[in-house]
């Protein structure tokens, strides 16, 4: 990916985050929790890629160190998969309870695994290791990361049942 591609990936990711923030209307504490969850998601993603390389589950092409992708690849997991989807998960949990959140995480796990399979087959971004174990580990890691992101947000912002979404995003426009 060239410089323009990286720029547009960051720009689109930020736009998606702002759209999700606008529609989910988190309070400051919830938003901070989602941002920390996003950063944790990105760090865990890098660690998982290094672990996967060492166990032969998958590896990246065209990277300085093929045990993990170029750092800019992790912008999307931080902003979209970590931060934005944590906020969406919070709203789903608020409306549908724990069952809704579990179904949401299961859906994201399935989506993440299908996405990774597609990328491995069609884009040559990374290469799967031999056998079924890499695909199973990929799915387990997706589930683990989404769960950890929700737990981090819970630890920072508290129980989703007691939380009330804001009616307006005051903290973007208020100077106090």
To the nearest whole percent, how much of the chain has pLDDT over 90? 62
Other residues' Cβ atoms within 10 Å of the Cβ of residue 139: 17
Tell me which residue of 76, 93, 75 sits closest to 154, measured CA to CA: 93
21-28 LR contacts (CB < 8 Å, sep 24+): 21/87, 21/169, 22/169, 24/87, 24/88, 24/90, 24/91, 24/165, 25/165, 25/166, 25/167, 25/168, 25/169, 26/87, 26/90, 26/157, 26/165, 26/166, 27/157, 27/163, 27/164, 27/165, 27/166, 28/171
Average pLDDT of span 55-71: 79
pLDDT at residue 98 is higher than 70: yes
pTM: 0.86
Residue 175 has pLDDT above 50, yes or no: no
Cα 174 to Cα 176: distance, rounded to the nearest angstrom: 6
Q: How far is CA 5 from the centre of its chain?
A: 20
Judged by DSSP in three states, 49 sits in: helix
Q: Confidence class of residue 176 from pLDDT cuts 50, 70 and 90? A: very low
Pairwise CA distance, residues 116 & 126, whole Å: 9
Query: Given pLDDT bands bounded at 50, 70 and 90, which one contains residue 70?
Result: confident
60: enclosing H helix or E strand: strand 58-60
């Amino acid at each position: 990916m060239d410089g323009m591609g990286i720029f547009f990936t960051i720009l689109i990711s930020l736009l998606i985050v702002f759209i999700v923030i606008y529609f989910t209307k988190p309070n400051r504490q919830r938003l901070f929790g989602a941002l920390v969850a996003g950063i944790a998601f990105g760090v865990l993603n890098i660690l998982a890629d290094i672990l996967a390389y060492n166990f032969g589950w998958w590896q990246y092409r065209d990277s300085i160190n093929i045990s993990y992708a170029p750092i800019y690849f992790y912008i999307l997991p931080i902003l979209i998969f970590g931060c934005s989807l944590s906020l969406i998960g919070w709203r789903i949990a608020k409306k549908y309870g724990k069952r809704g959140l579990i179904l949401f995480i299961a859906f994201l796990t399935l989506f993440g695994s299908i996405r990774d399979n597609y990328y491995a087959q069609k884009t040559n971004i990374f290469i799967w290791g031999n056998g079924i174990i890499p695909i199973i580990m990929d799915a387990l890691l997706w589930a683990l990361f989404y769960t950890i992101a929700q737990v981090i947000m819970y630890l920072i912002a508290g129980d989703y049942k007691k939380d009330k979404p804001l009616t307006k995003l005051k903290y973007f426009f208020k100077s106090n």
